[in-house]
Amino acid sequence: MTDDYVFDVSASYVEIYNENIKDLLNPNKRDYLDLRDDPIKGLVLSGVTKKEVHNIKDLMRLLVTGNSRRTTESTKANSESSRSHAILQVTVQKKPVTANYKVQQYTGKLSMIDLAGSERGTVTENRGLRLREGAKINRSLLALANCINALGD
Q: Which of 53, 45, 61, 37 is nearest to 90 (CA)?
A: 53
Share of the chain above pLDDT 70, in %: 77
- Identify the weakest region by mean pLDDT among 5-9, 65-69, 123-127: 123-127
| pLDDT at 62 > cutoff 70 | yes
pLDDT band at 127 (very low <50, low <70, confident <90, very high): low
Quick one: pLDDT at residue 82?
73
Nearest partner of 17 among 91, 65, 87, 89, judged by Cα: 87
Highest mean pLDDT among 30-34, 46-50, 115-119: 46-50
Give pTM, 2 decimals: 0.77
Q: What are phi and psi of 131, to 5 degrees?
A: -65, -45
Q: Answer yes or no: is pLDDT of 121 > 60.
A: no
Residue 10 has pLDDT above 70, yes or no: yes
Cα angle 127, 130, 134 (rounded to 5 degrees) comes to: 110
Quote the CA–CA distance of 17 and 84 in Å, as a whole number.
5
Q: How confident is the model at residue 124 (pLDDT cuts 50, 70, 90)?
A: low
What is the C-alpha separation between 67 and 70, in angstroms, rounded? 5
Give the DSSP H or E segment for 103.
none
Confidence of residue 58 (pLDDT cuts 50, 70, 90): very high
- Specify the CATH architecture of the domain 5-152: 3-Layer(aba) Sandwich (3.40)
- 35 versus 59: the higher-pLDDT residue is 59
**Which pLDDT value is given to residue 100?**
59
* Distance, CA of 10 to CA of 89 (rounded, Å): 8
pLDDT in tens, 19-30: 888 999 998 877
